[in-house]
Structure 1
Amino acid sequence: MGKGGKGEFTVTVKKEEVVAAVLPLQEHWLPLSNLDLLLPPLDVGVFFCYKNLAATPATGGDGDGSMNFDAMVGSLKKALAQALVTFYAFAGEVVPNSAGEPELLCNNRGVDFVEAFADSELKSLNLYNPDDTIEGKLVPQKKHGVLAVQATSLKCGGLVVSCTFDHRIADAYSANMFLVSWAKMAQPTETTIIHTAPPCKPCFRRSLLSPRRPGSFHPSLDDMYVPVSMLSLRKEPETTSEPDHVISRIYYVAAKELDHMQSLANSNTINGAKRTKLESFCAFLWKMVAASAEGKRASVKMGIVVDGRKRLSNGDKDKEALMGSYFGNVLSIPFGGKPVEELLEMPLSWVTDEVHEFLETAVTEEHFLGLIDWVEAHRPMPGLAKIYCNGSEDGPAFVVSSGQRFPESEVDFGWGKPDFASYHFPWGSDTGYVMPMPSPAGNGDWVVYVHLLKAQVEMIEFKAGHIFKPLTWDYLKY
């Protein structure tokens, strides 16, 4: 693997193998749901950092009660093989069917597992700039199958465990279920029983997302999603001396700053309606991205990912339990677009109201049922969220996905909870991506993964550097 820039280091692959489910599985096809079919072939990364583990008490170590890297990797693989029995979708392959649509072949092909060594200390990793230290080094590139895993030891004795998975097969909610189950099964008390059931058994019942007969959908969905056949071929961008490009950064935002944003957002609310921290944060970001486009005749589009699991339950306790463990994609991306001047001139409270207004269109059962029917009406032609197709020539656009349910503290493989963890999603579009997650400090702060155009990042740091502070090991108190 390559080297980084500032604080460069080398990652050396020591071993590669395939880990399959510990029990034989009956080969079968699992169709993707209509909501899965809205996702292009995107890979999502996630990584977990653990400090020096030399003194970690565990079984199967060096004979002194401590756990070495080989023992930890052995524990990870053993638990992974068990977790794949129930999370068998992650051990399969995506194959096109006769209509050209992707389907999941559940054949227990297995998961590519990489063991590596990084000649760096954990505290030397520049978390603020994951392009330099994480991308292509500590998070694996998925070459085959649905899921890839990498375990990297560092010269300080620390460990980074990371995964890359096919977004067409799982959303973050589904991946979180798997990560927690995998970690629980790696616990010493769990692995003594070879076929321990996972704490959460995934539900693959695609009938939960079946289209209606006859189907129907609101015309507004044609403004949110587009059949791929209707996408015009993009022009190659003109070459400039300093072309803008998308970069990734990780910040932390203090709880008091989030409270202040929310207070400003609620300063003119009517009828006592209160805007959430997420709505307030998104509105603030919307204004920041608009500031980077000041002087340009453009609109700025912002989308927010909505999980439909609770919406589709609609008070039905049985369906609520099934949707609560549903494995797959249950997402929609409503978005709004406003002129640059309007976003800059209006107060945060007004912008937050605009956020709330377009979010309201996608938080109902009917919206998700209609979206399922919209996909059915256009199959086998794939559809795509319009905001993802947005090019820089159309004006700035970005998507926010809340990671507040990120179960960082629960991903304990038997040697303690992570010192830091984050999703890593440079998703290959001109459209930006932002994911706020709870801080491991547990004090109400947020850790924010940002993947935006360089000019937008520079504007955020110039205008709001006191709010978006670079994530450091000093902050994490390592």
Structure 2
Amino acid sequence: MVKDAQGGGAGVTAGHGEVITTAVAPALPTQEHRLRLSNLDLLLPPLDVSVLLCYRHPAPSAAALKEALAKVLVPYYPLAGEVVANGDGEPELLCSGRGVDFTEASAAAGVEMRELRFGVVDERVEKLVPAKNAASVMSVQVTKFKCGGAVVGCTFDHRVCDAYSFNMFLVAWAAAARDGHGGAPPQLIPSFRRSLVAPRDPPPPRSPSTDALIDRLFAPVGSAPPPPNAAAAAVNRIYRIAAGDVAALQASAGPGRTKLEAFTAHMWQLCARAVAAAAASPPPSRERPCCMGVVVDGRGRLFPDGAMRAYFGNVLTIPYGVRGSEELRGMAFADVADDVHAWVVEAATGDHFRGLVDWVEARRPKPAAARAYLGGTGGGDAAVCIVSSGMGFPVGDADLGTGPPAFASYHFPWPAGAGYVMPMPSARGDGDWVVYVHVSPELAEAMEEEPTVFRALDSSYVFG
């Protein structure tokens, strides 16, 4: 069901022509109720994440997208609700069926989709993803271009779901849009069973090794070290990496190392190079240590039998390593990759995730945070970068009725001092990667100066 959104209507915004916002509610009525966030959800601060999908002519119409969205919001009803505070001040979901704010925009006169410089996000691309109302869970924006193409942008509250969950929604939305064109309905129904990540009652005997790892990776906010020094002005970029360069990185990392581990090791050494360059700039300063983290999904760790395959929510942990920048620059690449592998494997266990659920329960309602964002246990002085894999992004399945997108990327310009890097498959389907980065200017420069791996993303790559 589509209805006028409060405060919506026609208008003009910078970079856009006419703009109309309505609210799309679930096609079937929702019994209002509250759905608590899991203990793993509670580890996330109030951050919004965006996704943008670029479609060539003929792009899906806003009317068709709204109709499909109303259908898919029936099983994905929490996305049409609001985030509210409970009696303890913790966030939880009010499943009210208020709807998803859906904005229809037209590009400013004379702006062609082929002219968009997707690689330089700060120029114009950020206007293609919607700002989200603070209480709402999700918003959508469709920007139409004179050529008949369109960009679909979605923004969602990270406390409600992770990228794995939102990918499920995107696939379901696309299937609902294709249903009118003979497509098959979605097969995976989302699960909101909080019992899958419930604390154990009674708690098991304490495990020194499990507890030590959790205390190293997470901290109650009141006892956490101060955040690292924020970059003077973080930049947002999107690069591409050729499939051959991805394979070469993995081969250089040594046997048994994943592509993501090799990529993370490469980013860690680039971070060290950026730190050294910044320290050498006038006035010269002391080199800082480098904290590199990587996001690990726990669904298959908690339930190897696939019981969490349809689970909608956050199931994440963030292991990390801290080394001096000079030390990192002197290490062989394979040794850096070994280090990454060691701290990733240590956290990628069911015991760690079960212990983390219990750890949060013992400290509620006091909030907690991942130490990786804060520079590790030492905090403060470290240069921080987090890698979060978007390699599960179903680009080919994001066909909203008129064909798969020509380009897709995440967008996460968060207000923190830590850098954030998210690789995902290229829409070309040839093994290339598209990498969104929100990093310091020094790190972006280090990425662009190297002779291989990170390459400029130009319009010929997207539309050629």
- Same fold flag (TM > 0.5): yes
For 1:279, which of 261, 276, 287 is the aligned residue?
Answer: 261
The one-letter amino acid paired with 2:155 is T
Q: Deviations over 1:360-403 (max 9, x none)?
A: 11111001001111111111001111122349952211110111
Equivalent pair of 1:83/1:198 in contact (CA under 8 Å): no
For 1:390 and 1:336, locate their aligned partners in 2 and report how far apart those are by CA, in whole Å: 9
Mapping for residues 61-460 of structure 1, pairs under 5 Å: 72-119=61-108, 120-135=111-126, 137-143=127-133, 144-189=135-180, 198-212=186-200, 213-215=202-204, 216=206, 217-231=210-224, 244-266=232-254, 273-294=255-276, 296-314=286-304, 317=305, 320=306, 322-390=307-375, 393-460=380-447
Change in CA separation of 1:157 and 1:288 when aligned onto 2, cut-off 3 Å: same
Q: CA offset at residue 229 of structure 1?
A: 1.5
Equivalent pair of 1:184/1:199 in contact (CA under 8 Å): no
Change in CA separation of 1:359 and 1:117 when aligned onto 2, cut-off 3 Å: same
Mapping for residues 4-23 of structure 1, pairs under 5 Å: 10-23=15-28
Q: Hey, what does 2:36 align to over in structure 1?
A: 31
Q: CA offset at residue 97 of structure 1?
A: 0.3
The one-letter amino acid paired with 1:245 is A
Q: CA offset at residue 282 of structure 1?
A: 0.8
Q: CA offset at residue 233 of structure 1?
A: 6.1
Structure 1 unaligned blocks of 5 or more? 4-9, 57-68, 238-242, 267-272
Q: CA offset at residue 157 of structure 1?
A: 1.5
Question: Does 2:52 match 1:47?
Answer: yes
CA RMSD of aligned residues (A): 2.0
Q: CA offset at residue 244 of structure 1?
A: 2.6
Change in CA separation of 1:191 and 1:30 when aligned onto 2, cut-off 3 Å: farther
For 2:454, which of 468, 471, 475 is the aligned residue?
Answer: 468
TM-score (norm. length: structure 1): 0.87
Equivalent pair of 2:228/2:418 in contact (CA under 8 Å): no
Change in CA separation of 1:197 and 1:156 when aligned onto 2, cut-off 3 Å: closer
* SS of equivalent residue, structure 1 residue 132: coil
Equivalent pair of 1:226/1:384 in contact (CA under 8 Å): yes
For 1:311 and 1:232, locate their aligned partners in 2 and report how far apart those are by CA, in whole Å: 29
Q: CA offset at residue 188 of structure 1?
A: 4.6
* SS of equivalent residue, structure 1 residue 416: coil
Q: CA offset at residue 189 of structure 1?
A: 3.4
Change in CA separation of 1:235 and 1:201 when aligned onto 2, cut-off 3 Å: closer
Q: Deviations over 1:312-333 (max 9, x none)?
A: 004xx3xx2x300000000000
TM-score (norm. length: structure 2): 0.90
Aligned length: 435
For 2:349 and 2:271, locate their aligned partners in 1 and report how far apart those are by CA, in whole Å: 29
Change in CA separation of 1:465 and 1:13 when aligned onto 2, cut-off 3 Å: farther
- The share of aligned pairs that are identical, in percent, is 47
Equivalent pair of 1:27/1:108 in contact (CA under 8 Å): yes
Equivalent pair of 1:419/1:440 in contact (CA under 8 Å): yes
Change in CA separation of 1:258 and 1:36 when aligned onto 2, cut-off 3 Å: same
* SS of equivalent residue, structure 2 residue 211: coil
Change in CA separation of 1:465 and 1:245 when aligned onto 2, cut-off 3 Å: farther
Q: Pick which of 296-305 and 346-355 moved more.
A: 296-305
For 1:52 and 1:189, locate their aligned partners in 2 and report how far apart those are by CA, in whole Å: 19
Equivalent pair of 2:294/2:319 in contact (CA under 8 Å): yes
Structure 2 unaligned blocks of 5 or more? 1-11, 280-285
* SS of equivalent residue, structure 1 residue 394: coil
